[in-house]
Amino acid sequence: MRILFLNGPNLNLLGQREPEVYGSTTLEDIESRVRSRAQAKGAEVDFRQSNSEAELVGWIQQAKGNCDVIVLNAAAYTHTSIALRDAISGIGVPTIEIHLSNIHAREEFRRHSMIAPVCCGIIVGFGADSYTLAVDAAINVKASISAKTGAFSPATKGSILK
């Protein structure tokens, strides 16, 4: 089981940027927690961050055949990126959208996700724990897909665990 964690713009500033919203935990701290959780569950993790939309799209495209599930905190690109949405939709790898803060309790412009309709689930508002919850969710998604069909298809998104 291989999980690709992708982190979007400004997440490299965690621990410094708006600690009242995002907390004082750094992305490196989160990565360490994710790796520990994944190792305990027998999963491998590839953990990356980029401020570039093009680089994130490239990593998503490369995930096909190289990972079982993508966990994506697209950060600000969540609300604007048709390119990320199309990349997720185009590769057939189940993707979980995550956010540290509850985007639905924040500014109006943050409440709409361009990528949610092509993701199999969303985890929001649990701070750094959103990431460790995503490890468990990714493992469950993979197990559920394997038990049902052996493959993920856009028709199963949103209903994988039913």
| Residues noted as catalytic | 22, 99
Is 89 in a helix, a strand, or coil?
Answer: helix
Tokens representing 141?
Answer: 């998604």
Helix (H) or strand (E) holding 100: none
Q: How far apart are CA 156 and CA 162, in angstroms?
A: 10
Q: How many CB atoms lie within 10 A of CB 19?
A: 11
Determine the Cα–Cα distance for residues 144 and 157; give it in Å rounded to an integer.
Answer: 12
